[in-house]
């Protein structure tokens, strides 16, 4: 149902316009002065000196999860590539050395110039091997090729950046790595 909004008629002072113009200028001046002298109160940030606060749940740059032995958890099933609406994931598989696992990933590329950061690849992964919780939202590169994340860059993350994530702590460099290796009967190196 349409709602009619009745405009308040202007009084004679407002109809002169000069006072309303001065009032508008005063508002502009107040905001300009706040930007000059009290800019820390502004709802904006002075990028790049100030960086935006990014939550862990924000869909940022991808990372591939690692097992305790340092190998990617990805089993090269291709479900993330199939789910990707932008067709920006390229995967090559090879036979796994582990008899319990059929395949392992040989090549894993994500083109971040084409990616729309929808997160469907993360949802599609059956083994939680792909995440977008890096909080990295700024992509600066000189060439188009550098925007393509590969297996090496996707697995080069530091467990110290994920202190609250138990699964990340099981990866090499994580606080639970040695413990996880013992539990799984693997050789303890760290
Ligand atoms: S976030 Fe979306 S567009 Fe980007 S790789 Fe994943 S599925 Fe494809
Ligand atoms: S990241 Fe997950 S969905 Fe994609 S190929 Fe690897 S295991 Fe499959």
Give the chain's mean pLDDT: 93
Query: What's the pLDDT band for 187 if we cut at 50, 70, 90?
Result: low
User: What is the average pLDDT across 119-137?
Assistant: 97
Q: How far is the CA of 74 from the centre of ligand 2 (A)?
A: 5
Task: Say what percent of the chain tops pLDDT 70.
Answer: 98
In this predicted structure, the answer to whether residue 189 has a pLDDT above a threshold of 80 is: no
The answer to whether 95 and 103 have CB atoms below 8 angstroms apart is yes
Q: What is the pTM of this model?
A: 0.79
Computed on alpha carbons and rounded to an integer, the radius of gyration of the chain in Å comes to: 26
Which ligand neighbours the alpha carbon of 111 most closely? 1
Query: Is the beta carbon of 120 within 6 A of some atom in ligand 2?
Result: no
Across 25-34, 45-54, 108-117, least confident range: 45-54
Sequence-distant (6+) residues with CB within 8 A of 92 are: 76, 105, 106, 107, 108
Query: Is the beta carbon of 120 within 6 A of some atom in ligand 1?
Result: yes
For ligand 1, atom 2, name the residue with the nearest CA.
Answer: 118
Nearest to 62 by CA among 135, 136, 132: 132
Structure tokens that stand for 163 in this block: 């202190």
Which residues sit opposite 93 in a β-bridge? 105
pLDDT of residue 46: 82
User: Between vectors from CA 172 to CA 84 and to CA 154, what angle results, nearest 5°?
Assistant: 25
Q: How far is the CA of 121 from the centre of ligand 1 (A)?
A: 5
Q: How far is the CA of 80 from the centre of ligand 2 (A)?
A: 5
For ligand 2, atom 4, name the residue with the nearest CA.
Answer: 80
Q: In what order do the strands lie in the sheet with 89-95?
A: 89-95, 103-111, 148-149
pLDDT of residue 190: 43
CATH classification (class only), 63-183? alpha beta
97/47 Cα distance (integer angstroms): 48
């Amino acid at each position: 149902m349409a709602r009619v909004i009745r405009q308040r008629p202007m009084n004679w002072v407002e109809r002169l316009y000069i006072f309303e113009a001065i009032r508008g200028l005063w508002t502009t001046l107040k905001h300009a002065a706040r930007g000059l002298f009290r800019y820390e109160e502004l709802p904006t940030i002075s990028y790049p000196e100030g960086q935006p606060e990014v939550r862990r749940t924000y869909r940022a740059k991808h990372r591939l999860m690692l097992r305790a032995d340092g190998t990617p958890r990805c089993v090269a099933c291709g479900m993330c590539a199939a789910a990707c609406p932008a067709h920006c994931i390229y995967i090559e598989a090879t036979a796994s050395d582990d008899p319990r696992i059929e395949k392992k990933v040989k090549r894993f590329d994500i083109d971040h110039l084409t990616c729309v950061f929808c997160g469907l690849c993360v949802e599609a992964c059956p083994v939680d091997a792909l995440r977008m919780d890096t909080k990295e939202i700024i992509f600066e590169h000189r060439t188009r090729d550098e925007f393509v994340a590969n297996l090496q860059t996707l697995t080069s993350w530091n467990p110290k950046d994920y202190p609250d994530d138990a699964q990340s702590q099981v990866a090499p460099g994580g606080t639970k790595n040695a413990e996880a290796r013992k539990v799984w009967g693997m050789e303890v190196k760290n």
